[in-house]
Amino acid sequence: MGSEPVTAVDGFEHARAVADAILYEGYLLYPYRRSSGKNRVRWQFGVLVPPVWAQAHGLDDTSVAGSAEAPWQRTECLLEGPGEAVIKCRVRFLQLQSKAVEKRLPDGSYRSVDSLDAGARMELAFDEAVPREFDFQFSLGEVAEGAAEFAVQVPGGEDHEPVEDDAGRPAGRVVRRRRPLAASVTVSAARCDAPHRLSRLSVRVDNIDAGTAADAPREEALKGSLLACHVLLATGEGAFLSLLEPPSWAEAAAGECVNVHTFPVLASPAGDHHVVLSSPILLYDHPRVAPESPGDLHDATEIDEILSLRTLTLTDAEKREARATDPRAAEIVDRTEAMPPEAFARLHGTRRPPGDGGVVVGGVPVSRGSRVRLRPRTRGTDPQDRFLDGRTALVEAVLSDVDDATHVAVTVEDDPAADLNQWYGRYRYFSPDEIEPLPAAGERP
């Protein structure tokens, strides 16, 4: 099943861009300023809260929804492979980091303030986050014989960063504080009733923090929480099965997988089944970040072009506040301001031809230069296309979009503006099931 096996490291690297997008989903939203109401209620996905706090607040939801706060999450997926198959597990999350701002007083002491204006540099008190990841390795046979438990310990800490004014004089400092985190990862496996050697692999992540009071406010509980928690699994000696589209012989086993606050999808390149990403945000198999994207904008519903253009419309004062809010906000503003025109052009739209440069329709290869008859669908299509039913057209290109759907770009043969449209690159687009291949001009049918 799948292509040549990949190593766990290679597989994780391929999935890292998507996993990082999950890690920072909703971290900051446009306009990336602390004063924006959208950035006052944060950390919405994959939040594993302290168990005492969860119990006190009745957080006992066991649905797949990753937006539900809970003290644990569970991934269950299917792995076809021998007992000696080695599996690498990587658990990733954010650790909350409180950023305080202190002003330097004439006597050399410091006083906590909400903001610090040091001339060109300004700093605002705000919460940040530090990425953490932990790797574990085990064989399928080991966790089938008995559950294996792994400890996750993240130390707390405090860092000081001096802030100087434009003349180089001490103006204050930024103080970043982190509380320690504690979690456990429990892995087990069970054989499935299937015609092939199939196992159900289970990975449960529990927050075991004991330092948060039951009546603490959410802002305090978050300091002891695992934020945007997700799991990566990889093996080079077996193959994971899709839970979205399992083979018919594994459908019953797929239905027995119970995922809580997360859901696993195949995360290696299309055609490869050696890596799984279990995410609190629902994804399709083989997700990927568009190669045209210049960087994360922390919004899964983002349209890079619109958000980048809107970022450019921020006033200088708004951009200054964004930069003072968080280093990642500063990076977004700086990156957008530095984007060259060709980068914006790529965001406006990119055409991706399939690898073979064509598509097969009714057993007939169709590519640039082919003649087709148009048969637009009666429903779910542009009403104007219905007027082209039965007309003949010349194929200009066969393209694929970001979801790998195929589109056939054509010019209508008897269109008086065909030459102009070809010169300008303005085509009409149809799916392969909306065209009928025709003989080339001058050929007999």
> What would the DSSP string read from start to end of 100-143?
EEEEEPTTS-EEEESEEE-SS-EEE-EEEEEEEEEEEEEEHHHH
pLDDT at 301: 45
pLDDT, tens digit, 9 for 90 and up, residues 417-438: 788 777 667 788 999 999 999 9
Q: How high is the pLDDT of residue 56?
A: 97
CA distance 3 to 147: 30
Whether 177 shows a pLDDT value over 50: the answer reads: yes
What CA–CA distance (Å, rounded) separates 390 from 387? 9
pLDDT at site 338? 81
Instruction: List the beta strands (DSSP E) in 368-423.
Output: 371-374, 392-400, 406-412
Burial class (CB in 10 A: 0-12, 13-18, 19+), 430: buried
Average pLDDT over residues 14-38: 88
pLDDT reading at 15 higher than 60: yes
Distance CA 223, CA 53 (A): 12
12 pLDDT band, cuts 50/70/90, is confident
What pLDDT sits at residue 381? 62
- The residues near 311 (Cβ < 8 Å, ≥ 6 apart) are 30, 31, 32, 332, 333, 336
Q: Give the per-residue pLDDT at 347.
A: 58
Q: Do the beta carbons of residue 113 and residue 101 sit within 8 Å?
A: yes
168-172, 258-262, 288-292, 348-352: least confidently modelled range: 348-352
Domain with CATH 2.30.30 in the chain: 358-438
Give me the residues paired with residue 115 across strands.
124
pTM above 0.85, yes or no: no
% of the chain surpassing 90 pLDDT: 64
Q: Does domain 358-438 have CATH number 1.20.1260?
A: no
pLDDT of residue 298: 63
pLDDT digits (tens, 9 = 90+) for 329-343: 899 888 888 877 766
pLDDT of residue 152: 97
Interval 54-88: pLDDT, tens: 999 999 999 999 999 999 999 999 999 999 999 99
Higher-pLDDT residue of 263, 10 = 263
- Average per-residue pLDDT in the chain? 87
pLDDT of residue 4: 36
